[in-house]
Chain A
Amino acid sequence: MKHRMLYLLLASAMILSLALSGCGGKKSAGPLTFVLVPKNLGNPYFDTANNGAQEAAKELGVTVTYQGPAAADATQQIQLINSLIAQKVSGLAISADDADALVPVGKDAIKAGIPVVSFDSAIGKEGRVLHINQAELQGIGAIQIKMALELTGADGGKIAILSATSTAPNQNAWIAVMKEELKKPEYAKLELVDVVYGDDDDTKSYNEAQALFKKYPDLKVIIAPTTVGIAASARAVTDAGLIGKVFVTGLGTPNQMREYVKNGASPQFALWNPGDLGYLSIYVLNALATGQIKGVAGEKFTAGRLGEYTIKEDADLGVNVLLGEPFVYNAANIDQFNW
């Protein structure tokens, strides 16, 4: 019996040492392959980003694949990225589920010669070459508070924030800005009563919104800086018959929110064009991968139809590229968009 165990272990060891000493895979020559990694698959916001990315891919003659975890979970994202590093892809554009947890794997990729950029939701500074920011953090946070005040009217009232996951870097950054904004005198009448997390999961967001109405019967506005959360909250408001008493605003996609703009649950909300964000990300990756830029503040490059961009650097986001400004959607313009 003793011998058999030993035999077994030896056999396994032999097999594995054979494996480990095997030849490494070589980087395939040919067109560059970039991967767009969203926070999770299925979210229409990221699907639109991918459309933009594919448009850029066609213009540049590169291949872009779209792969992500099934849930907004950092562990799954890390496993996926490990697998992509193993496949020696040409570049990664990631919307991070967790700013800190992705730093080690981002560093790994960079060390392996794969340029890493984050878009939409930033990886910690050492884990990526640069971040592609959709709009100034300040601007995104400020516009949501501004819209909230417009919805409550001059008398102000209680507001609550329904965010994505508690680890999401972008939402957390915007919430921090919002809290700062609320200290300004013009927002003195707004009172932030709670911050809850819907995990970018429709069911959870819906339940959290419901809990908010019950906990705070005189709640006036729910700010949801996430496209999943805002849609779920608006639906919760509609189902509970609270249209006109509770308003929902934040960041949403036109197709998901059209019904609620028209029925009054969410008269206005903001976003930018995620397609452009995806488009820009691929141009940046391409520029990095082909050596046109090194990812240092001050460098300039052209991103197809979006024009010329300059890389900047600031305290919160480190090295980054700014896409543009947030855009406010309301009944007047909602029908012009189809995504």
Chain B
Amino acid sequence: MSAQPTPTSRSYRIKAIARFREAGISLFILILGVLVALRAPAFLTLKNFEDILLNISILSIVALAQAMVLITHGIDLSVSSMIGLVAMMVAFVMKQAPGFSVVAAVLLGMALGAVLGALNGTIISYGKVPPIIATLGALSIYRGMVFFYSGGTWINSFELPKSFKLLSKGTPLGLPNMVIIAILFAAVVYFFLNYTRTGRDIYAVGSNPEAAQMAGIRRQRIVFLVYLLSGIASGLAGVLWASRFESAQTNTALGFELQTVAAAVVGGVSTSGGAGTVPGVLLGALLLGLIENALPLVRISPFWQLAAQGLLILIAVVTDSLISRSAKGK
């Protein structure tokens, strides 16, 4: 039986902050949604909501993994390259063997991602290389491997089997498969972080590494684990990406890593470790997806979109940090 942590004033406060932040983000999303709907009624259609969900499915999966890494006071900048590499490798397999089971393709992708993540984890936890450096290097290495692997060729839509494309977009259960996969993934991560020993150990390692070590938590293993999970999530995301966009290019997912950090941070994950919740991250991803969806609807010129996105992210993270700072009494 796993015991709940005895409520010290600190953990109470952290839980309160977390709930407060989530309420704050939810309110922000609601207000934004209302404003957009007033300006563009097309926003409030079921189809549009489905589009938003589709667009944030992949982001949610990777942002959750990034959140776990951030909670341990680390960072994984290499996720985008892992996605690109797995997407390319799985696309190659699907092109060559169109009959290859789609489920097997997903497992293959996750396995490949696991290897890449394990490499990261080893270098960081056992090789004691600071996470930002290790994953910065990995970002370049894995991206280069995409080119090395494919020789620069792309896999195009007409070279992929229909079954593979349906993996993400098919709707046998009402919602697109990809959305369902993302929801399942989020549920698993939620359960893992809140109801298992290892999950809570992740928080412990992030908020107070020395104390965690003294309490008997195998810090090195936990750190290795979060990067391994990040790799697995990226692998899954890679397969979904290739399936959704029906292609694999040399710069698939280039630059995506910063979006995952943004989604996590906007969702209340602290970059100094120890804090962050699954609902928070999902809300963060939702906010980012909302902004991306809403701006064209509200007829903002494409050239303003990037600035608006950046400004909103800035406001969100600044507000977030301020709230946490004041709540923690610093």
Contact A211 B296, CB 8 Å, known A197-B302, A202-B245, A202-B247: yes
**A255 CB contacts on chain B under 8 angstroms:** 156, 158
Write the B157-168 contact mask toward A (1 if CB under 8 angstroms, else 0). 110000000000
A200 to B246, CA, bound (A): 15
User: Is the CB–CB distance between A42 and B42 below 8 Å?
Assistant: no
Binds A, one of B132-140, B146-154, B178-186, B264-272: B146-154
Contact A214 B297, CB 8 Å, known A42-B153, A42-B249, A70-B152: yes
User: Is the CB–CB distance between B302 and A42 below 8 Å?
Assistant: no
Tell me the smallest distance from the CB of B290 to a CB of chain A, in Å.
13
A300: Cβ under 8 A from any B Cβ: no
Name the residue of chain A whose CB is nearest to the CB of B254: A71
Write the A193-237 contact mask toward B (1 if CB under 8 angstroms, else 0). 000110001110011101110110100000000000001000100
Contact A203 B157, CB 8 Å, known A214-B296, A215-B299, A239-B169: no
B48: Cβ under 8 A from any A Cβ: yes
**A212 CB contacts on chain B under 8 angstroms:** 296
A41 to B299, CA, bound (A): 34
User: Is the CB–CB distance between B48 and A256 below 8 Å?
Assistant: no
Contact A206 B302, CB 8 Å, known A44-B154, A231-B156, A231-B157: no
Q: Interface size bucket, B side?
A: 20 to 34
Tally of contacts, chain A with chain B, CB under 8 A: 64
User: Is the CB–CB distance between B156 and A44 below 8 Å?
Assistant: yes
A210 to B245, CA, bound (A): 12
A43: Cβ under 8 A from any B Cβ: yes
A258: Cβ under 8 A from any B Cβ: yes
Tell me the smallest distance from the CB of B86 to a CB of chain A, in Å.
15
A235 to B48, CA, bound (A): 18
A42 to B156, CA, bound (A): 10
Would you list which residues of chain A between 37 and 85 have a CB under 8 Å from chain B? Answer: 41-44, 47, 68, 70-71
Tell me the smallest distance from the CB of B151 to a CB of chain A, in Å.
8
Would you list which residues of chain B between 204 and 257 have a CB under 8 Å from chain A? Answer: 241, 245-247, 249-254
User: Is the CB–CB distance between B297 and A215 below 8 Å?
Assistant: yes
User: Is the CB–CB distance between A71 and B296 below 8 Å?
Assistant: no
User: Is the CB–CB distance between A206 and B245 below 8 Å?
Assistant: yes
Would you list which residues of chain A between 234 and 285 have a CB under 8 Å from chain B? Answer: 235, 239, 255-256, 258-259
Contact A43 B154, CB 8 Å, known A70-B250, A201-B251, A214-B297: yes
**B293 CB contacts on chain A under 8 angstroms:** 214
Name the residue of chain A whose CB is nearest to the CB of B302: A196
User: Is the CB–CB distance between B296 and A41 below 8 Å?
Assistant: no
**B251 CB contacts on chain A under 8 angstroms:** 70-71, 201
User: Is the CB–CB distance between A259 and B297 below 8 Å?
Assistant: no
**B249 CB contacts on chain A under 8 angstroms:** 42, 201-202
User: Is the CB–CB distance between A214 and B42 below 8 Å?
Assistant: yes
Write the B286-310 contact mask toward A (1 if CB under 8 angstroms, else 0). 0000000100110100100000000
The interface of chain B, by Cβ under 8 A from chain A, is 42, 48, 51, 55, 147, 150, 152-154, 156-158, 169, 241, 245-247, 249-254, 293, 296-297, 299, 302
**Leading 10 A-B pairs by shortest Cβ distance:** A41-B152, A211-B296, A42-B154, A70-B250, A202-B247, A215-B296, A71-B251, A203-B245, A42-B152, A42-B250
Give 27 A-B contacts (CB < 8 Å), ordered by A residue. Answer: A42-B152, A42-B153, A42-B154, A44-B154, A68-B152, A70-B152, A70-B250, A70-B251, A71-B250, A71-B254, A196-B302, A201-B249, A202-B154, A202-B247, A202-B249, A203-B245, A207-B55, A211-B296, A214-B42, A214-B48, A214-B51, A214-B293, A215-B42, A215-B299, A235-B246, A239-B169, A256-B157
Knowing that A41-B250, A70-B152, A231-B156 touch, tell me 18 more A-B residue pairs with CB under 8 angstroms: A41-B153, A42-B154, A43-B154, A44-B156, A70-B250, A197-B302, A201-B251, A202-B247, A202-B249, A203-B253, A207-B55, A208-B302, A214-B293, A215-B299, A231-B157, A235-B157, A258-B158, A259-B158
